[in-house]
Amino acid sequence: MSRTVLVMAEKRNGNLRNVSFEVLAAGRKAAAGGKVVAVLFGESTPEDAEALARYGADQVYLAGHEKLREYTPDAYSQALRQVIQAVSPDVIFLGHTAIGKDLAPRVAARIGCGLISDCTDLEASGEEIVFVRPIYAGKAFQKKKITDGIVFATIRPNNIPAGEPDASRTAQIVSFEADIKDVRAVIKDIVRKTAGKIDLTEAKVVVSGGRGVRSADGFKPLYELAEVLGAAVGASRAACDAGYCDYSMQVGQTGKVVTPDLYIACGISGAVQHLAGMSNSRIIVAINKDPEAPIFKVADYGIVGDLFEVVPMLTEEFKKGMG
Amino acid sequence: MKILVLVKQTFDTEEKIAIRDGKVVEDGVNFVINPYDEFAVEEAIKIKETLGADVTVVTVGPARAENALRSALAIGADMAIHVDDEAAFGDEITISKVLAAVARRDSYDLIIGGNMAVDDGAAQVGPRMAEELGIPHVAAITKLEIKDGKAYMERDAEGDTEILECPLPLLVTAQQGLNEPRYPSLPGIMKAKKKPLERLSVADLGLSPDEIKAKTEVLDQFLPPKKEGGRILEGELPDQVAELVRILRYEAKVV
């Protein structure tokens, strides 16, 4: 059975986020031969629409209202509801991002439908769409479906691979005039700490530090390694609690759950709550002085040693092959 | 000022998960207040101490969840509401509608919840409840100040900090970094035993099971494939490092 699918694309720091292409891939799967409509709020360029088309959109709604420049729940939920009304989709996918996870429940409540959050996979071969999502931050998983009404889900970045872009694909562009009334919670300013940095939840490689980094300065070698690898830098709760770094860097059951291709844990012992946030990474490397540290039980490769000795050596070794 | 704090009782984050017949095993598990809800309770108590406020904590959950309410009362909440009714244990639609019905019984200026629960991790109930009540919400706040009927906030948006303001009434959800939750004191624990705790059913809230019916269904729950023991590299350190880089580059092909 073919379905009409609406997906929301997102931009960050001027660029389309990769999760936009991932929700399109999920959307194509769910559409089962039906139509996939992408919507992009805020400022956009013709190149954005072209990219969304190449990655699977049949139609692209661009809603460039001034009040959609920055995300607010009030403005975005009004606009998304209007787009839903115009498209009347069977399925809606948003990324499980700061915006998506905030917006989706608000809109789902308003239109009276169920919502499955933070999905890492979906099966759409049969009559119904079945979603897989982590519970207890990935210590376990569940399969879930919507029993009534629109199938609405948020998709975790970095899990459902984007499709191969098809340069021959084009999409119909719809310039959408959203009607935005009251916006109650207003943004006064944004401190962009992430500009130019790689997003932790979308990074292909994450270098993380724990109590073993011993100070804020101790993160320096980790940043140098991350720079060479194009990686994001994360941290364990112990490192955040000790004040070595910002809580926004925390990986774990409280904090962010990451699933990169490569996770390098430096001076992290491997508390259960930290393992929950990273153990579904594809390859895990642990560097720790203590050979008994639990992190070695989930690591694919381990080096027993002082991170301040090992990490700079790793940085140099990686540099070698990169010319 | 009246504040309603939403709490959920969850597994301690140090607990491992076991599954039997598609269900998470609860035997012998240590339960705590959801860590994000601890920030919510602490923030409410801080406002109470600085501006004066009546703080009510509410939970939807089985009998064991009363402990979470007692802990919140012990650190300074004034009263508690426990919705302990099978009909209220549906999905996020159910819980948010039940909590909205609780909120409608009084006029709260501020509703504070956790940014998400560490078990389901869906982060739906806060925004859904705000929509049910027709009030604004700001999720994942790391700073809150109340002045002249307005809330001034900082919100964590995946590492960026948004600075917002919003008139009350408002629902906010707490992100890590908002505050440093305190531990209950012994006198606090003693006092908590005497504080009012109201038990409500779905019918008490004037809701019919049909209007709060779940629209999602859990089909199965399972553990991720167990990781096999990894390989600890051996030899001189420079050789280990070279070997690791070779493996990551040419075997695992992750860099």
Within 13 A of A33's CA, how many CA atoms are on the CB side?
Answer: 3
CA trace torsion A18, A19, A25, A28 (10° rounding) = -120
Q: Are residues A219 and A315 in the same domain?
A: yes
User: Domain residues for B168?
Assistant: 2-200
Q: How far is CA A218 from CA A144, A294, A295, A311, in A?
A: 43, 22, 20, 11
The CATH number that applies at residue B148 is 3.40.50.620
Average pLDDT over residues A254-265: 94
What tens digit of pLDDT does each residue of A59-96 get? 999 999 999 999 999 999 999 999 999 999 999 999 99
Average pLDDT over residues B98-113: 98
pLDDT of residue A258: 93
CA closest to A198 among chain B residues? B159
A45 inside 8 A of chain B by CB? no
Q: Which long-range contacts (CB under 8 A, 24 or more apart) does A281-290 make?
A: A281/A206, A282/B252, A282/B254, A283/B248, A283/B252, A283/B254, A284/B230, A285/B244, A285/B248, A286/B230, A287/A311, A288/A212, A289/A212
Q: Are residues A92 and A136 in the same domain?
A: yes
Q: How confident is the model at residue A196 (pLDDT cuts 50, 70, 90)?
A: confident
The CATH number that applies at residue A227 is 3.40.50.1220
CA distance A295 to B156: 28
Residue B64: both structure tokens together? 């064991």
Q: How far is CA B141 from CA A187, B155, B178, B209, in A?
A: 13, 4, 7, 33
Do A135 and A141 form a contact (C-beta atoms < 8 A)? yes
Question: pTM value?
Answer: 0.93
Do A301 and A283 form a contact (C-beta atoms < 8 A)? yes
- Is residue A198 a part of any domain in this protein? no
What are the beta bridge partners of residue A172? A59
Q: Are residues A20 and A146 in the same domain?
A: yes
For residue A321, pLDDT over 80 is answered with: no
For residue B200, pLDDT over 80 is answered with: yes
| Domain total of chain A | 2
The CATH number that applies at residue A97 is 3.40.50.620
- Is residue B105 a part of any domain in this protein? yes
CA closest to A272 among chain B residues? B14
* Residues on chain A touching B140 (C-beta within 8 angstroms): 98, 102
| Domain total of chain B | 1
Q: What are phi and psi of A83, to 5 degrees?
A: -65, -40
- Is residue B228 a part of any domain in this protein? no
What tens digit of pLDDT does each residue of B133-149 get? 999 999 999 999 999 99
For residue A323, pLDDT over 70 is answered with: no
A294 inside 8 A of chain B by CB? no
Q: Are residues A136 and A225 in the same domain?
A: no
Q: Are residues A285 and A162 in the same domain?
A: no
Q: Is the peptide bond before B169 cis (omega within 30 degrees of 0)?
A: yes
Residue A256: both structure tokens together? 């962010």
- Is residue A191 a part of any domain in this protein? no
Average pLDDT, whole number, for chain A? 95
Do A185 and B154 form a contact (C-beta atoms < 8 A)? no
Q: DSSP assignment of A7-67, as one string?
A: EEE-EETTEE-HHHHHHHHHHHHHHTTS-EEEEEESS--HHHHHHHHHTT-SEEEEE--GG
Q: Are residues A159 and A210 in the same domain?
A: no
CA closest to A254 among chain B residues? B118
* Residues on chain B touching A194 (C-beta within 8 angstroms): 158-160
For residue A160, pLDDT over 90 is answered with: yes
Q: Are residues A231 and A295 in the same domain?
A: yes
Q: Are residues A235 and A275 in the same domain?
A: yes
Contact between chains at B121 and A117 (C-beta distance less than 8 A): yes
Q: Are residues A26 and A71 in the same domain?
A: yes
CA distance A89 to A37: 9
- Is residue A247 a part of any domain in this protein? yes
pLDDT of residue A322: 74
User: Domain residues for A98?
Assistant: 5-175
Do B216 and B90 form a contact (C-beta atoms < 8 A)? no
CA-based nearest residue to A207, from A318, A121, A297: A318
pLDDT of residue A125: 84
Last residue of a domain, one of A153, A175, A197: A175
- Is residue A143 a part of any domain in this protein? yes
Name which of B13, B156, B254 is nearest A248 (Cβ-Cβ). Answer: B156
Q: Are residues A84 and A153 in the same domain?
A: yes
Q: What is the ipTM of this complex?
A: 0.94
Q: Are residues A122 and A211 in the same domain?
A: no
* Residues on chain B touching A285 (C-beta within 8 angstroms): 244, 248
Mutate to test the interface with B, among A184, A281, A319 (most CBs of B within 10 A): A184
A90 inside 8 A of chain B by CB? no
- Is residue B86 a part of any domain in this protein? yes
Last residue of a domain, one of A175, A195, A228: A175
For A294, other C-beta atoms within 10 Å of its C-beta total 17
Q: Are residues A161 and A285 in the same domain?
A: no
- Is residue A250 a part of any domain in this protein? yes
Which letter, b or e, does each residue of B149-161 get, where b requires 16 or more Cβ atoms within 10 Å of its Cβ? eebebbbbbbbbb
A223 inside 8 A of chain B by CB? no
Average pLDDT over residues A12-19: 93
Name which of B158, B165, B244 is nearest A285 (Cβ-Cβ). Answer: B244
